[in-house]
A = this chain, B = another copy of it.
């Protein structure tokens, strides 16, 4: 299995990426010995980082980063010669099985949409994040692949979230919650009220509206919302440990702070796939540490093995149809796809 790594994406590129790749190879030596990593980037820049010689399961794909280094995500994502576009194109062509990048999310989403097809039944791909919860964890989707979401988009997020939770998070029967400002059925913006209705008829294990305070309670294993709100919430949670560390400083209880840090550490997840496309495109935090990059690479391998994109597609085409054929939902869903 070949995982492409955008060696020039992220705040600490290429150091964090190179070190992360080495770490992933070490960790995978016993568990996943067929894992190979292709570093996409200028060979002349990357080679000096391997004074001891190239590790066995690592190679370069020599490409200069020219335009792709632009700060504007639209330019990097739209430039067919950028590293991220090239890696995703090679992925489509079958040269590699997944692409991992810590470059700008916007550029990677745009590049993924330009280079890879959407899954049948999906009009709006999305990226989720597994947050800790009181019991198990909670998969929040979307966290920023796009900013606004229609009722139909929210239902698609739910479907993709269910598959992700089942396949990757090992939650057999994930419950779906709709993030809202209250639990009443008729509360919220029009698209959210409509999503409530569609989810009720979806055959999913839909628990209704959930509020901000329900996220960490684990009231649902999959919580759907628009990308703007999801992104703000995810990043807010990332800021909590630093805040608490300063807050609890007077206690000077190192053990406790470490415990807290481990629990709220987003780096254990490393990166999250853009769901709803025919391919594996893993989006990492720009400030990813080598450990986060290594986690993302291993997660990519897991997603490739589990054939997640195919499963999303067959869920939408197969079970989804039988779920909804009796209830008028599918017609309105298809109408949604056409409009």
Give chain A's interface residues, CB within 8 Å of chain B: 71-72, 106, 132-134, 144, 147-148, 179, 181-182, 184, 186-189, 211-217, 225, 227-229, 231-240, 242-244, 246-248, 250-251, 253, 255-256, 259-260, 263
CB < 8 Å: which of B186, B213, B260 contacts A239?
B213
In the bound complex, residues from chain B placing their C-beta under 8 Å from that of A251 are: 253, 255-256, 259
User: CB distance A260 to B248 under 8 Å?
Assistant: yes
User: CB distance A228 to B71 under 8 Å?
Assistant: no
Q: Closest residue to A148 on the B side, CB-wise?
A: B189
A24: shortest Cβ distance to chain B, in Å?
26
A274: shortest Cβ distance to chain B, in Å?
15
Q: Determine the distance from Cα of A232 to Cα of B232 in the docked complex, in whole angstroms.
A: 10
A252: shortest Cβ distance to chain B, in Å?
11
Q: How many copies does the complex hold?
A: 2
User: CB distance A184 to B243 under 8 Å?
Assistant: no
Q: Determine the distance from Cα of A225 to Cα of B144 in the docked complex, in whole angstroms.
A: 16
In the bound complex, residues from chain B placing their C-beta under 8 Å from that of A255 are: 251
User: CB distance B212 to A238 under 8 Å?
Assistant: yes
Q: Determine the distance from Cα of A239 to Cα of B187 in the docked complex, in whole angstroms.
A: 21
User: CB distance A232 to B227 under 8 Å?
Assistant: no
Q: Given the interface contacts A134-B243, A232-B229, A244-B260, does A71 sit within 8 Å of B184 by beta carbon?
A: yes
CB < 8 Å: which of B184, B225, B228, B239 contacts A217?
B239
Q: Given the interface contacts A189-B147, A246-B134, A251-B256, does A235 sit within 8 Å of B217 by beta carbon?
A: no
In the A-B complex, the 10 residue pairs with the smallest Cβ-Cβ separation, listed nearest first, are A212-B235, A212-B236, A213-B239, A216-B243, A212-B232, A213-B235, A181-B231, A229-B229, A211-B235, A216-B239
Q: Determine the distance from Cα of A244 to Cα of B263 in the docked complex, in whole angstroms.
A: 10
